[in-house]
Each structure stands twice: as structure tokens, then as C-alpha cells.
Amino acid sequence: MPRSGTSLVTQVLHRCGLHLGRPEDLMPAAADNIDGYWEHLSFVRINERLLAANGGAWFAPPATVHPTPALTADAASVVAAFEGREPWGWKDPRNAVTLPFWKGLLPALKVIVCLRHPAETASSLATSALIPRTWRFYWSVTRADSPIALRQGPARRLGRLWGAARASTSVARRRALIHEVGLELWRVYNTRMLDETSASHRLVTHYDATMRTPRAELERVLAFAGLQPPSAVLEDAVRLVSPRLRHQRADGASLTPEIDALYARLTREARH
């Protein structure tokens, strides 16, 4: 899920030997992520095309993803460029909802899942600049086949127009909407990831563990990824973790029973 510490974990893995591609092929840093996103733009573009071809977007995922032959060929070409560069990988939160497609190309794919408290994730999303303008955003998440379940329930065209208009009238209303959708996105992304992976092919790493005991958590992730960096490299990577990276707290936040149960399950798997 976006805003779950994915950039930090990927940066650390890269420092410890995970090949992500040429520096010029990675998404540049931005105000929302001054240390960089560490996302290979070719994988991001494939994922965006795949979601769009199925009537969705990262913030409004489609129910299923069905690739076109052209998309499959382009993705295979991107993957082929990494042959002989093992260990290699890529980071893109969209992978959580496009994973069936990538598993078709890479059946032995290992997945590192970055877990953060749902309320913290949603709050971070609400204060970011990642969500597009309210009208496009609201219209996408309230379409008839959307997996996003808002409290207001499904609405017809007039109700959707009214809802979009209300959310556009103030920053507070827009943030409240993004926070509500963010919780639902957290549920959808993590549910699909669990459905598409086995326990032996995934590792869940908790944001809190990375912040509190960075060396121990990093060593656990590196062991799963098959990386064995020299001790000096490991120490440099641990120093990348800083309390300044944390801007949201979930103390006292309430969750729906479904999201609470899912978070508890993932937290247990993260050994946190």
C-alpha cells in the first residue's frame, strides 16, 4: 500500500545489493518523497497501462486485471533487460493489485510486503499530493464496480455529482474523503496481496519494527531476499532509518472489524 514505508525499505535493499536498474530509469525524488521513490519507471508505466486497460487506476483498482498481448510483450521486454543482474527487483505499490500479471511472467517471484497501521497510512495519504483532483478521484472510486466501500454506500449519477461537489468545497472535506478511501485501499491492496501469494513466497515487514529496531528488522528482510552485504554496508543502510521520516501516528485510531482483523493477521506474520 502507498505510504507504508516502501521507499525506505527499497532504498535499504538497494544499498545492500539489490539491483533496481540504471539510476536514470528510476523515478526522481519529489516534495512528497525527498529521498526518492526507488521505482523503475518502466514497471510503473506497465502497471499504470494495465490498470487503465481494465478501467481503473492505483487509487481506484479494478476488480481484475486482464493484459493485452501488447502489454504482455512490453512487460516481458522490461523483465528481459534484468537477466544476468540477479539479485534484482522492483518496487511499485501497484504490484499489490497487478500481481497475478507479474506472476505469469515470473512464477518464482518473491514479495516483500511493507505493513503500516491502516490509519497512519490513510493519514499520510491524505496529507500527500498523490491523489488527483477531487472530481476525477471521487468519480473513479464511486463507479459501480469499485471495490472501495464508502460509508455513504453506492450512489447514482446525481448522488455522485453531489458527493464530488461537496468534497471539493473544502480542504478538510477532501482530506476526510481521502482518509476514508485510504483505509479502503489499504484493505483492498493487502487482501489481494495475501490472496495472490503464499507464506513461503512473501515476507511482511512492519514499519514500526523498522523504526524501532532497524538493524534486526533489516537483517530479517535481507535474509529473505538472499542478500549478504558486508558489515560496513549494512551499518550504512541502517543509518538511513531516521525518526524524521515518521510524520503520522495512529494512537487511539478506530478501525472497522474487517480491517482490524486483517491488520492483526499481517502484524502476526510480521512477527511484530
Evaluate whether 177 touches 167 at the Cβ level (below 8 Å).
Answer: yes
Q: Can you give the pLDDT at residue 250? A: 67
CA torsion angle 178 179 183 184 (round to 10): -30
Helix, strand or coil, per DSSP, at residue 30: strand
Q: Can you give the pLDDT at residue 244? A: 67
pTM over 0.85: yes
Long-range contact set of residues 205-208: C-beta below 8 Å, sequence gap at least 24: 205/5, 205/9, 205/112, 205/113, 205/114, 205/115, 205/270, 206/115, 206/116, 206/267, 206/270, 206/272, 207/4, 207/5, 207/114, 207/115, 207/116, 207/117, 207/120, 208/116, 208/117, 208/272
Domain ranges across the chain: 6-129+166-269
Q: Specify whether the backbone of 270 is left (phi greater than 0), alpha (psi in -120 to 50) or beta.
A: alpha
Domain 6-129+166-269 has CATH 3.40.50: yes
H or E stretch covering 9: helix 6-15
Q: Can you give the pLDDT at residue 249? A: 67
Q: Show pLDDT as tens, one digit a residue, over the chain (272 residues).
A: 999 999 999 999 999 999 999 999 999 988 777 788 999 999 999 999 999 999 999 999 999 999 999 999 999 999 999 999 999 999 999 999 999 999 999 999 999 999 999 999 999 999 888 899 888 899 899 988 899 988 877 777 878 888 888 888 889 999 999 999 999 999 999 999 999 999 999 999 999 999 999 999 999 999 999 999 999 999 999 999 977 666 566 666 789 999 999 999 999 999 98
